[in-house]
C-alpha cells in the first residue's frame, strides 16, 4: 500500500503537468494560478488511496483524482467571489488579481475541465462514476447556498448545521473515496461504505475545526484563533450556545453579534467566556466523537483485509488528532 504522502506527491506532480490553452489568456491564466497555490491535495489523494486499498492500479485513477482537485478549486474560486475574500492560502484571490467576471468564467471552465478529466475512466464504469460526481457537485452547491442563508438567519439549529457541513465539506471526501473504490474494483456495497466513512469523518473533522477555531493554539492550528467569532460565523459552538443560553447570556451574545466594528480581542474573550459557562466545547466534542464513531463503524463493515482497515484507521486518527 502506498503512503498518503506519496499519493499527495503524485497529485501535486500531475497538477503541475496539467496543460491549458494560452489563448484567451484571461480565461486560462487564473486556472493555472489557483491550481499553483498548492494545498494538501487531500481529496484527490484519498481517491487514489481508495483505489489502492482495493487492489486497483493507481495510475488508472489519476485522471479522476485530478478531476476532484480541479472541481474543488473551482468551488474555492467561486466561494472567494461570494465571500469577497482577499486572500486564498496566503495569496491574493483570483477575483482580486483579475476581477469577478474573470473569476466566474474561469471557474466555469474549471468545472468543465473537471468533467473532461473524470470522463477518462473506463467506459464500463463511466456512468456510475459520473452519477457519483454529479451528486457530489450538486451537494457542494447546496451546502454553499445553505451556508449563505445562515448568514441572515438567527434560528439555525444543530441538525441544519450538520446537514450544511455534510454537503459543503464532507460529501467531497465521501465522493472521492467512493469513486476511488469503484475504480479499484470494490463492489457497490463496499464503495458505499467507503463513502459513508468519508462523509462521517468529514463531519467530525469540521466539528473539530469549529472547536480549534476558538480553543486551539494558533501556532499549531495554523489559523487565527477566534476568526469564527469575529465574523459571526454560525458554527456548532455558537448555535449550541444560543440554544442553551439563559436570558442574560443570550442578551450578551446578541450584543456581540450585532456589535459591528467592535474590539476583536474583547469580542473573542466575551463570547468565549459564555461558551465556557455553557460548556459548549463538551457538546461539540461529543458530537465530533459520535461522527468519528460512525466513520469507524462504516469502516468495520467494509470487506477489506484487516491491515488495510488499520491503515484507514491510522489515517483517520492522524486527521483527527490536531493539537490544541
Reference 204, options 166, 175, 177; nearest CA is 166
CATH topology of domain 187-324: Farnesyl Diphosphate Synthase (1.10.600)
Q: Give the integer Cα–Cα distance in Å for 275 and 285.
A: 13
**pLDDT tens for the chain, residues 1 to 324:** 889 999 999 999 999 999 999 999 999 999 999 999 988 999 999 999 999 999 999 999 999 999 999 999 999 999 999 989 998 988 999 999 999 999 999 999 999 999 999 999 999 999 999 999 999 999 999 999 999 999 888 889 999 999 999 999 999 999 999 999 999 999 999 999 999 999 999 999 999 999 999 998 766 655 667 889 998 999 999 999 999 999 999 999 999 998 877 788 999 999 999 999 999 999 999 999 999 999 999 999 999 999 999 999 988 888 876 555
Determine contact, residues 41/291, Cβ cutoff 8 Å: no
Rounded CA gap, 98 and 30, in Å? 8
Apex CA 91: angle with CA 48 and CA 96, to 5°? Answer: 115
CA distance 48 to 56: 9
Round to whole Å and give the CA distance between 101 and 107. 10
CA 185 to CA 306: how far, in whole Å?
18
Query: Start-end ranges of CATH 1.10.600.10 in the chain?
Result: 1-153, 187-324
Residue 111's H or E segment, with its range, is helix 100-118
Handedness of CA 105, 110, 111, 112 (dihedral sign): positive
CATH fourth-level superfamily of 1-153: Farnesyl Diphosphate Synthase (1.10.600.10)
Measure Cα distances from 137 to 77, 111, 142, 174 in Å.
Answer: 15, 9, 9, 12
Would you call the peptide bond into 24 cis, given omega within 30 degrees of 0 as the criterion?
yes
Amino acid at each position: 500500500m502506498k503512503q498518503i504522502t506519496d499519493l499527495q506527491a503524485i497529485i501535486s506532480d500531475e497538477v503541475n503537468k496539467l496543460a491549458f490553452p494560452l489563448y484567451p489568456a484571461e480565461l486560462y491564466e487564473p486556472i493555472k494560478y489557483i491550481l499553483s497555490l498548492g494545498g494538501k491535495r487531500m481529496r484527490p489523494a484519498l481517491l487514489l488511496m481508495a483505489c489502492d486499498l482495493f487492489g486497483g492500479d493507481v495510475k488508472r485513477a489519476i485522471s479522476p483524482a485530478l478531476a476532484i482537485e480541479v472541481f474543488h478549486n473551482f468551488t474555492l474560486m467561486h466561494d472567494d467571489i461570494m465571500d469577497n475574500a482577499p486572500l486564498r492560502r496566503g495569496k491574493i484571490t483570483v477575483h482580486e488579481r483579475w476581477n469577478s467576471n474573470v473569476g466566474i468564467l474561469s471557474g466555469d471552465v474549471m468545472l468543465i475541465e473537471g468533467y473532461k478529466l473524470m470522463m477518462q475512466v473506463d467506459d464500463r464504469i463511466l456512468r456510475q462514476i459520473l452519477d457519483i460526481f454529479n451528486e457530489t457537485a450538486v451537494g457542494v452547491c447546496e451546502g454553499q447556498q445553505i451556508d449563505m442563508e445562515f448568514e441572515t438567519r438567527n434560528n439555525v439549529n444543530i441538525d441544519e448545521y450538520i446537514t450544511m457541513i455534510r454537503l459543503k465539506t464532507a460529501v467531497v471526501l465521501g465522493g472521492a473515496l467512493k469513486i476511488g473504490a469503484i475504480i479499484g474494483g470494490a463492489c457497490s456495497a463496499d464503495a458505499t461504505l467507503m463513502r459513508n466513512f468519508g462523509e462521517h469523518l468529514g463531519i467530525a473533522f469540521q466539528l473539530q475545526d469549529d472547536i480549534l477555531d476558538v480553543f486551539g493554539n494558533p501556532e499549531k492550528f495554523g489559523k487565527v484563533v477566534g476568526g469564527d467569532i469575529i465574523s459571526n460565523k454560525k458554527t456548532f459552538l455558537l448555535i449550541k450556545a444560543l440554544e442553551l443560553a439563559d436570558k442574560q447570556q443570550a442578551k450578551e451574545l446578541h450584543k456581540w453579534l450585532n456589535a459591528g466594528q467592535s474590539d476583536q480581542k474583547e469580542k473573542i474573550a466575551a463570547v468565549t467566556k459564555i461558551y465556557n459557562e455553557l460548556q459548549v466545547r463538551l457538546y461539540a466534542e461529543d458530537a465530533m466523537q459520535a461522527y468519528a464513531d460512525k466513520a469507524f463503524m462504516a469502516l468495520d463493515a467494509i470487506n477489506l483485509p484487516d491491515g488495510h482497515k488499520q491503515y484507514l484507521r491510522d489515517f483517520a486518527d492522524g486527521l483527527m488528532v490536531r493539537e490544541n
